Amino acid sequence: MSDTHGPDRHLAAVVEPRLRAACPADHELLAAFLTGLSPASAYSRFLTGVGGSPTPRLLAALLPARPRGGAVLGFIDGELVGHGLWARLLDPAVAEIALVVADRHQRRGVGTALARAVTDDLVAHGVRDVEVFSSTDNRAVARMVARAAPDARRELDGPTATWTFAARGQAVPVPRTA
Q: How far is the CA of 72 from the CAs of 26, 106, 119, 158, 171, in angstroms?
A: 11, 17, 10, 30, 15
Write out pLDDT tens, residues 62-89: 999 888 999 999 999 999 999 999 999 9
How far is it, in rounded angstroms, from Cα 105 to Cα 102? 5
Mean pLDDT value of segment 140-154? 92
139-148 vs 110-124: helix axis angle to the nearest 10?
Answer: 50
Of all residues in the chain, the percent with pLDDT exceeding 90 is 69
Answer whether 95's CB lies under 8 Å from 89's CB.
yes
Going from the C-alpha of 94 to that of each of 3, 76, 89, 127, 171, the distances in angstroms are: 37, 30, 6, 6, 15
Q: List pLDDT tens digits, range 11-60.
A: 556 778 999 999 999 999 999 999 999 988 888 888 877 667 899 999 99
Nearest to 120 by CA among 66, 84, 171, 65: 171
